[in-house]
Amino acid sequence: MEFAVISDSHVPEREAALPSQFRERVAAADHTIHAGDFETADVLDDVRDLAAELTAVHGNVDPEDLGLPAVAAVTFEGVTFVVTHGTINPVAAAVDAASVDTEMEVGEEGEITSFEARLESDAGLVLGGEQWADAVADTARARGRTEPGETVVGIGGHTHVVEDTVHEGVRVLNPGSVTGADPAERATMMTVTAEDGEVDVTLHEA
């Protein structure tokens, strides 16, 4: 099963439209994931019309009336993809804070080391770097609790920086900006193939 993974359209304020070759990839995919920042309902409708199926989340520039969740999850072929934009404390949206143990776990240098503890932290605005990766990986663990042998992948956006890394045991993806909106230097997206709990990721540039 092939997924098109895109984020940060920023149409029309920063860019005019999705690149035509990316529109073709979205149309050809079995399922599309968008990690937020459409900017308008028209852009959301455009992507929804292109995609065979769409999983999408709310970005920090998206109007509230788009009706998109802060966190979404979809499972296919033994892989659960947990999606968040990356500008809120998404763990709080993924789990009920009252249902988890929020005892602080602090590392040797004073850093918070558990996602439960980060619910209590002041990291409400996630801008990038380690904090961004922490939030996406934490959300994937919190929302993507699966059966043994199943795989969880965290997907985020917001930074416009391409990421494909394993962060604290969770594979974390950021497809960058699908239109190349600033501060991205180029338009990028990913296609992801999922099969029997395994994922294969390909980055595409326009």
Among all chains, which residue has been given the structure tokens 């043994």? 148
How confident is the model over 133-192, as pLDDT tens digits?
Answer: 888 888 888 887 656 667 899 999 999 999 999 988 899 999 999 999 999 999 999 999
Q: Is the pTM of this model over 0.85?
A: no
Q: How far apart are CA 82 and CA 91, in angstroms?
A: 11
Query: What are the structural domain ranges in the chain?
Result: 2-205
The matching CATH number, chosen from 3.90.1640.30, 3.20.10.10, 3.60.21.10, 3.40.640.10, for 2-205 is: 3.60.21.10
Q: How far apart are CA 59 and CA 79, in angstroms?
A: 24
**What is the 3-state secondary structure of 70-137?**
CEEEEEECCEEEEEECCCCCHHHHHCCHHHCCCCCCECCCCCECCHHHHCCCCCCCCCCHHHHHHHHH
- CA neighbor of 182 nearest in space, from 157, 161, 205: 161
pLDDT at 169: 84
How confident is the model over 11-26, as pLDDT tens digits?
Answer: 999 999 999 999 999 9
